[in-house]
Structure 1
Amino acid sequence: MKLTTTGDQPFRICQLTDIHLGATPLNAASQQTLAAIDHLLATQDFDLIMLTGDLLWGKEVQRPDQTLTALYGTLNQYPVPVAVTYGNHDGEGPYTRAKLRELESLIRYPADKHQAMVTNDRESYTLEVTRDGQLAHVFYVWDSGAYSHWPSDEQYAAIEPEQIDWFYRLPYARTVDQVDLGFIHIPLPEYQLAAAHVMTGGKNEEICSPVTNSGLFYSLKRAGNVKALFAGHDHDNNFTGTTGGIDLNYGNVTGYNTYGTLPRGARTISVWSDHYETDVILFPTED
C-alpha cells in the first residue's frame, strides 16, 4: 500500500515493538498481547503500523508461520499499511530472516517498500510518504541484525558498512528542512549519550547497544534530514532523548509474554511537514 497524507494533516504511525509471541497454541500472555493490539487498532486511527523487531520468542517457536499467522491475522482486520523489521530473537528459531521475510506475504496490507537491499540476510529499505501527491517524507528502515560477528568481544551486532553505504547512495534529496525518520531494533551506541538528555519517558535498564560503533549516527547527522530514530530491544526503556541534533527514541514494549516492568503499550508518531511529535499509548489494565 502507498503511504499518503493530505494538506496539514499529520501522518500517524503506530510503533509496536518487542511483541515476543510464543509458540502455538498461544499462551495466555501472547493472547493478551494480541487482544491489546486489536483494541488499540480498533480505537485509534493510524496511517502506518511499524513493527520494530522481536515479533517472536525465536527459540521457543518451532512454527513461526503459525505464530505470525496469528499476529498478522490481528493486523489484517484493519486496512492500515504494515512494515516490518526484525530483532535479535526473531531468527533464533528454525526460520532464517529470508524465510521470515517470505512470511510477510501473510500481511494483507503491506506498506510499499522502496530501494530494498539485503546484506548478511538483513534487509534495509525505505518507505515513501506523499503529501498531496508529492514526496514529503522518507522513512529509513534498517534491520539491525542479531549477534556480533565476534561474540567473544561483544554481544550485539553493529549496523553493517554496506547498510550505511546504502543510505549514502539512495536517490533522495537530503536537506535539514526535511522531516524524515529512521527505524531499527537494536539501539545505536549513541543512545548512551541521549540517555543524558532525556526529554520524556524513562531509562530503567542498561542500554544494550553494540560496542562497535560502525558510524550510522555520523551519517545521519551529516545528511541532516533524519530528525529522529526509533528503536526497541530494551524493554524497560521507553525514553526520548537527544544528542547531536537527532532525537533517539525507544518504542514502548508491546508484548506481555516477556520480561519488563513497564506497562505495555505502543509509541505513536505524528509527522507534519515541518516537525514530528511522539507519545506513548499504554494498553488498558484489566480490573
Structure 2
Amino acid sequence: MMKNKYAILQLTDLYLTCEQSKQIENEETFDLIAYFINKYHPDLCIFTGNQIWAEDQETGAKLYRRFLEFMNQFEVKIATTFGDKETCHGLTRTKLRQLEAKYSTSYAHKYCSSIANDKEAYIIKSPHQQIFVLDNGADGTIEEEHLVWLQEKLKHCGKHVAHRVLFMHRPIKAYDNVFVYIGEKKSAISYAAESERLFSVLREARNIDGIFCGHDYDNDFTFFHQGIGLNYGRVSGISLYSDLAPGARLIHLFPERSYTTCILDSDIETEEDAEEDLSAAELMEKIVGN
C-alpha cells in the first residue's frame, strides 16, 4: 500500500572536519543525524552542501568516506549536493561523486543527470512528486547549461507531475525579497547576483512549489515570493558557530497538493522537538498573521 506522504529530512552545513580538536563535535553531529532519522523515519535525507570541511585531498576523502559509511547503517535513501567547503587541493566534485558511487549503499537513483563545470543537476523520483537537486557551486553561480536543462525538464519530464521541489546549497537573489516570514533571519542573504535567472525559469514553469537551501548559518526562515516557497534549512553541524541550535528541516510531499514543512531543533528540551508541520496555505496564513 502506497503511503500518502513522502518524508524528506534536509540536513545542511554539517561541517565535519579533520581537526583533532573537533572530533567530539563530529560524533555529536552523527548522533544528531541518527536521532532525527530514528525519530522521524524519513524516506530520503538530502544533504544540501558543506558536508565536510576538507583541508587536503587525502584527509578530505577519508572524512567523506566516513560520512557515507555512517549513512549506510540506516534504511533511508540519501542525496547530496555540494557547497564551498568540500573541494580543495584536488578533491573535486567529480572525486566526491566517485566516492559516493564507491562507498554509499543507500544513494538514491539519479535521473536525467547533467554535469556542467564539474557541478551536477539531477532529479529524484518520489511516489508523489519530482525532487530536483542543483549544484550552484561555491559562489552560487548557476551554469547556463543547467538553466537550459531545468527549463527542458520542467516542461517535458513528467508532464503529469503537478508539484515539484528544488534543493541546492546557496540561496538565490529571490531570497532577498523577504519581508514577512516565519523562522529566524539573523544574517544577510549570500546570493550570486545572476542567480535571479533561476527564479525566472521556475516562475515561468509554474510547477515548482518550493526551494530549499542552506549556506547562511543563522537563517532558517521560510516565506513566499510570487507563489514559490523559499526556505532555509537549519544548520546541522555541531562544530559550526551559529546563533541557532543545530537541527534540520522536515518536509512532507503529497500526491495531490504542495508540501508541508517544519524545523527540527536539537535545543528544545520537550519530547516534541519539531515546530508545527504546516502546509503552504497554513504557512502563508501564519506569515501574514505575524
When normalised by structure 1's length, the TM-score is 0.86
Matched, 1:272 2:269: no
Distance 2:157 2:118 in 1: 24
Which shifted more, 40-49 or 118-127? 40-49
| 8 A contact 1:122–1:143 mirrored in 2 | yes
Partner residue in 1 for 2:119: 122
Deviation at 1:212, TM superposition (A): 2.3
Q: What SS is found at the alignment partner of 1:266?
A: strand
Partner residue in 2 for 1:15: 10
| 8 A contact 2:174–2:196 mirrored in 1 | no
Partner residue in 2 for 1:63: 59
| 8 A contact 1:17–1:252 mirrored in 2 | yes
Query: Where in structure 1 are there 5+ consecutive unaligned residues?
Result: 131-135, 147-155
Equivalent in 161, 164, 188 of residue 180 of structure 1: 164
| 8 A contact 2:248–2:263 mirrored in 1 | yes
Deviation at 1:196, TM superposition (A): 1.1
Partner residue in 2 for 1:142: 134
Partner residue in 2 for 1:111: 108
| 8 A contact 1:204–1:237 mirrored in 2 | yes
In structure 2, do the counterparts of structure 1 residues 93 and 55 end up closer, same or farther at CA, with 3 Å as the change threshold?
farther
Partner residue in 1 for 2:180: 197
Distance 1:113 1:203 in 2: 33
After superposition, residues 117-266 of structure 1 pair within 5 angstroms as: 117-130=114-127, 136-146=128-138, 156-170=139-153, 171-174=156-159, 178-193=162-177, 195-198=178-181, 200-213=182-195, 215-266=197-248
Distance 1:271 1:229 in 2: 13
Amino-acid identity (%): 29
Which shifted more, 209-218 or 46-55? 209-218
| 8 A contact 1:160–1:214 mirrored in 2 | no
Deviation at 1:64, TM superposition (A): 1.9
In structure 2, do the counterparts of structure 1 residues 214 and 174 end up closer, same or farther at CA, with 3 Å as the change threshold?
farther
Distance 2:34 2:267 in 1: 12
Larger proportion of helix: 2
Aligned length: 264
| 8 A contact 2:132–2:166 mirrored in 1 | yes
| 8 A contact 2:129–2:254 mirrored in 1 | no
Matched, 1:28 2:43: no
Q: What SS is found at the alignment partner of 1:233?
A: coil
Q: Which amino acid aligns with 1:107?
A: S
Deviation at 1:74, TM superposition (A): 2.4
Partner residue in 1 for 2:277: none
When normalised by structure 2's length, the TM-score is 0.86
Deviation at 1:57, TM superposition (A): 1.2
User: Pairwise CA RMSD of aligned residues?
Assistant: 1.9
In structure 2, do the counterparts of structure 1 residues 258 and 49 end up closer, same or farther at CA, with 3 Å as the change threshold?
same
Query: Where in structure 2 are there 5+ consecutive unaligned residues?
Result: 270-290
Deviation at 1:285, TM superposition (A): 6.8
Deviation at 1:269, TM superposition (A): 0.1
Distance 1:127 1:35 in 2: 26
Which shifted more, 18-27 or 215-224? 18-27
Distance 1:118 1:251 in 2: 25
Matched, 1:53 2:49: yes
Cα deviation per residue 1:50-97 (whole Å; 9 max; x = unaligned)?
010001112367512221222223211111010010011111354000
Deviation at 1:24, TM superposition (A): 6.3
